[in-house]
Amino acid sequence: MAEQKPISKSYLDLKSKVWDEGLCSGCGACIAVCPADSLYFEIGGDSTHPKSNSYCKAAVDSVPCGACYEVCPRLDEQPSSLLGDYLEITTGKAEFDVPRKQSGGAVTAILANALDTGLVDAVVTVTGDPWTLKPHSMVITKSEALIGQAGSRYNWWVPLVSSLKEAVVNRKYRNIAVVGVPCVVQAVRKMLETDHQLVGPYKKSIRFVLGLFCTESFDYEKLITGKLKSEYALEPMKVCRIDVKGKLEITLNDGMQYVIPLTELEDTVRPGCGVCTDFTALKADISAGSVGSPDGYTTLVVRTLVGQHVLESAVANKKLRTGGEVDTGIIEKLAKKKLKRKPELKRE
């Protein structure tokens, strides 16, 4: 009697449960792990979810796969915790100059030290064009390049995890740090916890996950062209920093600031963000954000022993200063606001 092939999911299952329901976070994890390279985001078009070129071996040839389904963060129940489990909450500030830094530059300091000491050999992160602010994902292997890219625009959507394929498969790095918003962190954690054979290379290669506080992500074209340029007459090249602390705060190179209520930006938010309840990147090794710390400092939530080791190394090498008090009340306030979304996902 012939051995029966194991039943596996395909992108069609992901499409029906996530894409068609408007739940896709746009993290790009499914694109990264697809062994046939059949999934992609349409550039400049409908990017609410990935598309397929129909070359899916599971769907077409009944070849067991299901890697895309395995790593999707939207198939899990959304978390109900505010701060999550942690070992320590502190403030951090880079001990060296970080041009265009967000808050205290602690994220850059931690990652730069990790690269310099060999704790990681590559960082998968988001960078922004200084002229247009248009975001894109990148694999960085030198601390100098990382420092030069500080102040990256994490508030704007880009399928970050899809860059992992470049780092893992094409360039074969084996000690990778990933930096991203909560949906990215959730997807990467699924990669690290699964026993799925086709996801194995990612599981073996990712060493450290740094999560970023996130209220929601914005569509670049709708925010820049549709809002900042047309309604507020703000040129992207003049923007020094953008931050979200319950409202959109824009700082220009000359120090002038604009504050825009999020209620005025609802039509620029990624549709999939409407179901996310994770504000503090609960599944990261270290979570970071500007909320809760004084100006010029970064809030750091150390969640795992891996995160603690990476943080202590940065402090020991005088790349990072820590130790200030954090106002957890304001963090919990924003986390509670996001928690009210309480999505109801379809189950099998």
What pLDDT score does 271 carry? 86
- Can you tell me the distance from the alpha carbon of 103 to that of 49, in angstroms, rounded to the nearest whole number? 31
How many angstroms separate the Cα of 167 from the Cα of each of 33, 123, 128, 139, 157?
A: 12, 9, 19, 6, 20
What pLDDT score does 43 carry? 67
- Can you tell me the distance from the alpha carbon of 142 to that of 162, in angstroms, rounded to the nearest whole number? 20
Specify burial of residue 311 (Cβ count, 10 A radius: 0-12, 13-18, 19+): buried
What pLDDT score does 348 carry? 42
What pLDDT score does 30 carry? 95
DSSP string across 43-90: TTS--SS-EE-S--HHHHH-----HHHHH-GGGSPPP--SS-S-SEEE
In tens digits, the chain (348 residues) has pLDDT values of 344 344 478 999 999 999 999 999 999 999 999 999 999 988 655 688 999 998 888 877 778 899 999 999 999 999 999 999 999 999 999 998 877 666 789 999 999 999 999 999 999 998 877 777 778 888 999 999 888 776 555 556 778 777 899 999 999 999 999 999 999 999 999 999 999 999 999 999 999 999 999 988 888 778 887 788 888 888 888 887 777 777 888 888 888 888 888 888 888 888 889 899 999 999 999 999 989 999 889 999 999 999 999 999 999 999 999 998 999 999 999 999 999 876 554 434
- Can you tell me the distance from the alpha carbon of 25 to that of 266, in angstroms, rounded to the nearest whole number? 16
Cα torsion angle, 76, 79, 83, 86, sign: negative
What pLDDT score does 327 carry? 96
DSSP reduced 3-state for 243: strand
Q: What is the pTM of this model?
A: 0.90
- Can you tell me the distance from the alpha carbon of 57 to that of 10, in angstroms, rounded to the nearest whole number? 8
**C-alpha 63, offset from chain centre:** 31
